[in-house]
Chain A
Amino acid sequence: MEPILFTLFGAIAVGGALLVVTRKNPMSAALSLIMSLFAVAALFVLRQAHFLAAIQVIVYAGAVVVLFIFVIMLINVPENRLPIEKPTVYRLLGVVAAGLLMIEGGLASRNFSAPATAVGEVGSVEAVGHALFTDYLFAFEVTSVLLLAAVVGATVLAKKKI
């Protein structure tokens, strides 16, 4: 079952990603991004990472992309003032370079193999929660500083009057 679902959701994720980088209108790009993120969430479920799948949907697709959409509507660039993007040699080179990186990553990943013994109940809410508040407590605490910085920073830059 997993190969089929993997192929399906993998294809949706890649398709959504391709749409993100090819859409002219940022709104369609944002919606494609949601599609891709949902597909990735499904892949997380396939890997028994239920907690992360939920977070992916709630935080990523839910909050982050909504923020994007919010900003898109806020600044609301008219269609005719969107940057004009034509295929150029430079862009082709960019695609080629990214393709090379993909091939390199693929070649390196090809011989990845997991130990046969591995059993994964690591993605459940309980397992993640336990790890998060024992071994990774520090990381969890650091994110609070990170988020505080982001909040302060976003306010400084975006509020009308400082």
Chain B
Amino acid sequence: MIAIPFDSSQVMQGIASIAPEAILVCTAITVLMADLFLAEDGKWLLCWLSLAGVLAALGEVYLLGSSRIVGFSGMITSDGFGMFFSTVVLSACALVLLMATGWSERAGTQKGEFYSLILMSTTGMLIMAKGTDLMTIFLGLETLSIPIYVLVGFQRSRMTAIEGALKYFLLGAFGAAFMLYGMALIYAATGTTKIPVLVYMSVGGGMAGSSLFLAGMGLLLVGFAFKVSLFPFHMWTPDAYEGAPTLVTAFMSAAVKAAAFAALVRVAMLLFPGVSPAIGPVLWVLAVLTMTVGNISALGQNNVKRILAYSSIAHAGYIMVGLVAGDLLGSQAALFYLLVYAFMNIGAFGVLMLISQKEDDGYDIHNLRGIGFKYPVLGALLTLFLVSLAGIPPTGGFIGKFYLFSAAVKNGYIWLAILGVLNSAASIYYYLRIVVYMYFMTPEGEVVTPHTPPFGYALALCACAAVVLVLGMIPGAVLTMAEQSVLSLLM
């Protein structure tokens, strides 16, 4: 019998490293329990309760700060990098919950399960972003995915929702299997799954000759590529986004993408340099194809949700540009862009949720006719978010794209930058199309009447708009933060 040693300082350190996650899980369970005891007209409390938990977790993230805490024998590390992505994910979650205050009622998601699933998914995201062991990354991925599969199909009486859930689930499991196979091959090649050890082994091309390791990295990349929806692993995206309740779509597009990119950036910054001559071209091709396919497919769409889904694919391609560049600046730009992207995308979905009357048909672009002048604030907000998505100054989207493409130019990927800028130019067309419908198309019949957002919802929209604008005009602080967090990763 081997006694398990108990080292209280290590346990404390471990608990400290996962304190935000612990808060989230506790909140999730509390919400589930509270749901049992609350009367139907008291359910609105659940949302605020969840929000309080998320904000507490966010506060805890900042209490922990960017100091490095290695927890649980190196399974998870709380550091500046984790802090950055925790901020992104938790703010996205908080925004979504704020919007849920005015939305759940009519969407039928005013339920303890809904909120606890969101919270558990967020927990998974934090774990994935902070994981320093392939196992942790995998478990984080699953913990974030399983609730999302369910959330996509939450309005299960709607055929599109449940169909989207099925597709996302089957492909998600399929994609996760690839990632797992990759991890197994990496493990076979190196005998470890701990990222720091892998870095030690692969640095300076130590593993570049091992086809086992290369194949493992390739399959790992496939898994990540699926989650961040890179071509040709992107096909689930439009379907799942369209089918899901819009609030969940907003959450997925911002938070899931950020978490998956967090792990991808970690792996890319730490492990890809060791195999860069092999994997560099792969990333290059993926970035270009993803941008192009995403943008081109969005051109002829009439469903606004699908447009934004394809746009989210294209944006994954832009962010990949930063990873192709592969240096500090590139990753920093990717981080910054993910933050901006979270806010502008949630904002855009938030406005659309108010305008659309119902899921599915409600998101037809024709419903936007005449909105712009009749509801100037909504119109202006949506225009702002779309302008930012299109990468036009003075919005955060522009700064992000500027950094991404200039990182590419700096590292000699001129053609990548050219293709990226061309793509960005093409993407204007479909963002603009939405604006044109809002402002320049006369409505056939009545202009739809958007829902009046309650206070929390309006607050979320204003916060998104403010962040998008502030990051466009004074991005310095956040850029520095992104830089610091990438540096803390490289330490």
Contact = CB atoms under 8 A, between A and B. Distances in A.
Interface of A: 104-105, 107-109, 111-112, 115, 126, 130, 133-139, 142-143, 145-146, 148-150, 152-157, 162
Contacts of B146: 146, 149-150, 153
A162 B157 CA distance: 11
B212 A156 contact: no
B149 A153 contact: yes
B156 A149 contact: no
B409 interface: no
Given A134-B5, A139-B135, A153-B150, 9 more contacts: A108-B216, A112-B212, A136-B135, A138-B72, A138-B75, A142-B127, A145-B124, A153-B113, A156-B113
A134 B124 contact: no
B4 A142 contact: no
17 contacts: A104-B215, A105-B181, A134-B4, A134-B73, A137-B14, A138-B76, A139-B135, A145-B25, A145-B124, A146-B142, A149-B124, A152-B113, A154-B150, A156-B113, A157-B153, A162-B111, A162-B113
B75 A156 contact: no
A142 to B, nearest CB: 4
B117 A109 contact: no
Contacts of A162: 111, 113, 156
Contacts of B215: 104-105, 108
B interface, over-half SS = helix
Most chain B beta-carbon neighbours within 10 Å: one of A112, A142, A155: A142
A145 B141 CA distance: 12
A149 B113 contact: no
A26 to B, nearest CB: 15
A142 B139 contact: yes
Interface of B: 1-2, 4-5, 14, 18, 25, 28-29, 32, 71-73, 75-76, 111, 113, 116-117, 120-121, 123-124, 127, 135-136, 139-140, 142-143, 146-147, 149-150, 153-154, 156, 165, 181, 185, 188-189, 191, 210-212, 214-216
Contacts of A150: 146
A39 to B, nearest CB: 19
B160 to A, nearest CB: 15
Contacts of B1: 126
Contacts of B124: 145-146, 149
A125 to B, nearest CB: 12
A149 to B, nearest CB: 4
Given A146-B139, A148-B120, A108 B211 contact: yes
B152 to A, nearest CB: 10
A136 B150 contact: no
Given A146-B146, A153-B150, A136 B111 contact: no
A108 B212 contact: yes
A157 B136 contact: no
A156 B139 contact: no
Contacts of B2: 126, 130
Contacts of B32: 152
Given A153-B149, A156-B154, A108 B214 contact: yes
Contacts of B153: 157
Contacts of B123: 145
Contact of B189 (A112, A138, A142, A157): A112
